[in-house]
Amino acid sequence: VVTRREDYREPDWRVPEIALDFDLDPAATRVHATLQVERNGSHDAPLRLAGDGLLALVVRVDGVVAEDWTMDGDDLVVPLSGAAHTIETEVEIAPERNTQLMGLYASGGILCTQCEAEGFRRITFFPDRPDVLSKYKVKMTADKARFPVLLANGDPIAQGDLDGGKHWAEWHDPFPKPSYLFAIVAGDLVANRGSFMTMSGREVQLGIWVRLPDLPKTDHALHALKLSMAWDEKVYGREYDLDVFNIVAVDDFNFGAMENKGLNVFNSRYILADPDTATDYDYDAIAAVVAHEYFHNWSGNRITCRDWFQLSLKEGFTVFRDQSFSADQGSAAVKRIEDVRGLRASQFPEDAGPLAHPVRPDEYIEISNFYTATIYNKGAEVIRMMATILGPEKFRAATDLYFDRFDGTAATCEDFVQSMEQGGGVDLTQFRRWYSQAGTPRVSATLTQEGGRARLTLRQVVPPTPGQPVKEPMVLPLKVKLFGAVTGRALCDEQLVLLKDESHEILFENLPETPVLSINRGFSAPVVVETNRTAKDLAFLSAHDDDPFARYEAMQQLMLDTLVTSVANGTGDHQAVIDAVRNTLTDANLDRAFIAEAVLLPSDSFIGDQMTVVEPEAIFRAREALRQDLGKALATEWRAAYEGSLANRFEYSPAAKGARRLKTVALGYIAASGAADADGLAFDQFRGADNMTDRQGAMTTLVNGASPLREEALEAFYTRYQGNGLVLDKWFQTQALSSREDTLDRVERLAAHPDFTLSNPNRARSLIGAFSVNQRAFHDVSGRGYRFVADQLIALDKLNPQTAAKLLPPLGRWKRFDEGRAAKMRAELERIVATPELSKDMFEQASKSLD
Ligand code: ARG
Ligand code: ZN
């Protein structure tokens, strides 16, 4: 069944209030719901309440047991005569048997909920759509010994003890909200407590709830929460609105975290951290996700989505907000580089493949499949472009207008754009195409010079995508600047060029010297730019551009051009890259985090994305050859960088993080050079590390290499962290990402390891997800990699369709490969589609990938 955006209609019935009464038990939980329903407009439609796997034990209308209700599939249909009624239903559910992890489920003895997008209907019958806003009263009763803590949205109202070792608690949420923001948690939990004074002087009680042994790992998350609350007040003028804000960490979770009103539920990997078990990347991700979920309180909860086609209204905007928050905590340039690398690794391929869809999609079979890099990350880029076009003051005025005007409502992307137009005084008519057209625009930029004049010719093409064969030109905000090729001086101020037509020309006059083009500075538009810049120009920019992102970008382009040429020719000239890397590596004015990013080679898959037909082995060989040459030619410089980055004691600061990052990047190049002592160096770093960043970095270097020390390191790591699920995920993932030739064999063996399980999503992703982005191993010419992944996904689909479907896209990229591989990939997709009782999640992903 396909749901279409154009079919949106207001709900027939509103539910201004709901009271829920839970008698909690993992095997059999009773849910009693009382809904105040009101007819919306004049129509005679019955009340239709969505359910998913629910059986109504009793239905009452205005206190009287009703007999005239019917089931239409999973929906409960109740004929009603008046304009307003009280509806009661009772159901029984079994959280411990809920392997989908949607609705109410059990994770390590904790009962918790996940309702976005359509999980609430697995708990009780309800018009489970985001434009039905209700005030919730929730009562929970449970065994006090097993579930001493009972949490829900809003504020705690009352609690008490009962006979038989039971107790109860009641919570009220004064803010009307859609059902997807509902949450309860019951468990044996303890809190790291804090408080935050809001800008109007209200004190908010904060709690990060975990199991007792995890309590020491919650300080970083609590700190990040306080920083986020202060940041949203300062940057967007947004204040928190309840007396309590709770976060609960659980080990089994389908994605990162969930912004339930006043009660966020998190995947424990985005809460728990200490230096011994979490990498710097983990620390950063924790702060980013805590901020993201907190920011949803305004962009998502106070203003929610009218329907799920508007998902990017809250997700794109909230990602933009969390990216800006993270940029303000450390190096904004490095954050931008990381975000762009992520966009290119996940969103660009999505936009170029069979699952491409607009930021505001037109239709879906299963909404869970649309929590994508396009909705989230391209959506964030779209907001960023509007912020760029408006400038900071007007953008703030426009977001103020948006929050003010739509507070308490279920809004649309169109509402947001109109707020930008009115608050910013701009016309975004054509810009709206960013919401409706899929595909990554390609821009060609050609700079030609005659004497003191230069002409920049820009052209844009938006490639066809499924269902959208012909595209209209987009509005592309391109930041442009020219530098003198001799002096390195800026020849003009940075300009914001709005490319709106298929082509456009810009003239530069009175140029004192030959200009070099710097374009799409800061990655001002999420596009692919092709230029006529030479290797010399790129090397020059990588050393002299005054925009750090543009410096990084010039280096990446130089590396890519070199690698693509070597793949085509089987051999390449590496000198230009070597010189540019040396320059960056030895530039005393650059910080280490930036250097580490700039000297990293583009990934195998990103190199593949530049080619018409991806050749995994040739790409791997070309990249390894360049790595080796860089390692050898700059042997002294890598040593110096390594030794200059050693630290005495762990510290979590931007400078210390940068040093750790550069150290491991340098170690990688030392190993690539074939230096005799490289393995020993890595093993010493592994053994001597006082933090996970250094330990995992060294282990990764060993795992990619040929030394017998690699098995020793893996063994030691496993023994040390046995029983710590989050760290074991790293153990699986590091092996699945290995660049070694025998990775596929090893991954097959790991799937049979006693610690491997498909029922924990993090574990499934750590092996299958990691393996299928390992281009060389996954695309093994035998097709065994494809078969392995398909087998695992078919098995996972029976437990957890949502997580299985999320892991399918790599198999769908068959068009990018040679006929032999493509046929094998298609055969696996066909096998998946033909699997009996396949979920609609998997069906949608696999069948669309075959088209
Ligand atoms: N809203 C959550 C977040 O971004 C994610 C919910 C994902 N839901 C899903 N069905 N995939 O913060
Ligand atoms: Zn979100």
Half-sphere exposure of 55 (CA within 13 A, CB side): 7
* 353-368 mean pLDDT: 98
The residue nearest atom 5 of ligand 1, judged by CA position, is 258
* 456-475 mean pLDDT: 98
> How do residues 686-736 score in pLDDT, each as one tens digit?
999 999 999 999 999 999 999 999 999 999 999 999 999 999 999 999 999
Q: In the structure, what pLDDT confidence band is assigned to residue 5 with cuts at 50, 70 and 90?
A: very high
- Pocket test residue of 371, 841, 844 for ligand 1, highest count of atoms within 8 A of CB: 371
* 108-121 mean pLDDT: 99
Give the whole-angstrom CA distance, residue 136 versus residue 471.
45
> How do residues 750-771 score in pLDDT, each as one tens digit?
999 999 999 999 999 999 999 9
> How do residues 394-416 score in pLDDT, each as one tens digit?
999 999 999 999 999 999 999 99
Q: Radius of gyration (Cα) for the chain, nearest Å?
A: 28
Q: In the structure, what pLDDT confidence band is assigned to residue 25 with cuts at 50, 70 and 90?
A: very high
Residue closest to 359 by CA, chosen among 417, 308, 312, 304:
312
* 639-650 mean pLDDT: 96
- The residues near 164 (Cβ < 8 Å, ≥ 6 apart) are none
- 3-state DSSP call for residue 697? helix
* Distance in Å, CA 701 to ligand 1 centroid: 34
> How do residues 527-554 score in pLDDT, each as one tens digit?
999 999 999 999 999 999 999 999 999 9
Give the whole-angstrom CA distance, residue 755 versus residue 629.
39
pLDDT (0 to 100) of residue 521: 98
Q: At what angle do helices 548-569 and 332-342 cross, to 10 degrees?
A: 40
pLDDT (0 to 100) of residue 236: 99
Task: Indicate which ligand has the atom closest to the C-alpha of 253.
Answer: 1
- The residues near 221 (Cβ < 8 Å, ≥ 6 apart) are 192, 208, 247, 270, 271, 272, 273, 286, 287, 290
What is the identity of the amino acid at 543? A
Work out which ligand 1 atom sits closest to the CA atom of 117: 10
* Distance in Å, CA 115 to ligand 1 centroid: 9
Give the whole-angstrom CA distance, residue 541 versus residue 564.
20
Give the whole-angstrom CA distance, residue 299 versus residue 310.
12
DSSP-assigned beta bridge partners for residue 324: none
Residue closest to 531 by CA, chosen among 515, 543, 547:
515
* Distance in Å, CA 254 to ligand 1 centroid: 9
Q: Give ∠ CA 18-21-26 in degrees, rounded to 5.
A: 130
% pLDDT > 70, the chain: 100
Catalytic, out of 293, 366, 553, 844: 293
Tokens 């995947």 -> residue: 267
pLDDT (0 to 100) of residue 349: 98
The DSSP 8-state label assigned to residue 34 in this structure reads: E
Burial class (CB in 10 A: 0-12, 13-18, 19+), 849: buried
Please say if 293 is a catalytic residue: yes
pLDDT (0 to 100) of residue 419: 99
The tokens describing 248, both together, are 């609960």
Q: In the structure, what pLDDT confidence band is assigned to residue 372 with cuts at 50, 70 and 90?
A: very high
CA distances from 728 to 82, 107, 218, 298, 763 (A): 58, 18, 19, 36, 8
Sign of CA dihedral 421, 425, 430, 433: negative
- 8 A C-beta contact, residue 260 and residue 115: yes
Q: In the structure, what pLDDT confidence band is assigned to residue 564 with cuts at 50, 70 and 90?
A: very high
The residue nearest atom 10 of ligand 1, judged by CA position, is 368
For residue 117, say if its preceding peptide bond is cis, omega within 30 degrees of 0.
Answer: yes
CA distances from 107 to 101, 266, 755 (A): 9, 12, 17
Give the whole-angstrom CA distance, residue 821 versus residue 813.
10
- 8 A C-beta contact, residue 187 and residue 147: yes
pLDDT (0 to 100) of residue 75: 98
* 179-199 mean pLDDT: 99
> How do residues 381-393 score in pLDDT, each as one tens digit?
999 999 999 999 9
- Pocket test residue of 100, 179, 258 for ligand 1, highest count of atoms within 8 A of CB: 258
Residue closest to 112 by CA, chosen among 249, 261, 274, 279:
249
Q: In the structure, what pLDDT confidence band is assigned to residue 612 with cuts at 50, 70 and 90?
A: very high
* Distance in Å, CA 345 to ligand 1 centroid: 20
The tokens describing 449, both together, are 């010079």
% pLDDT > 90, the chain: 100
pLDDT (0 to 100) of residue 551: 98
Give the whole-angstrom CA distance, residue 629 versus residue 631.
5
> How do residues 788-835 score in pLDDT, each as one tens digit?
999 999 999 999 999 999 999 999 999 999 999 999 999 999 999 999
pLDDT (0 to 100) of residue 490: 97
Q: In the structure, what pLDDT confidence band is assigned to residue 494 with cuts at 50, 70 and 90?
A: very high
- 8 A C-beta contact, residue 724 and residue 718: no
- 8 A C-beta contact, residue 213 and residue 723: no
Tokens 């990040």 -> residue: 224
pLDDT (0 to 100) of residue 445: 98
Pocket flag, ligand 1, residue 371 (CB < 6 Å): yes
* 170-182 mean pLDDT: 99
Pocket flag, ligand 1, residue 736 (CB < 6 Å): no
The tokens describing 303, both together, are 């203003």
Pocket flag, ligand 1, residue 278 (CB < 6 Å): no
How does the average pLDDT of the chain come out, rounded?
A: 98
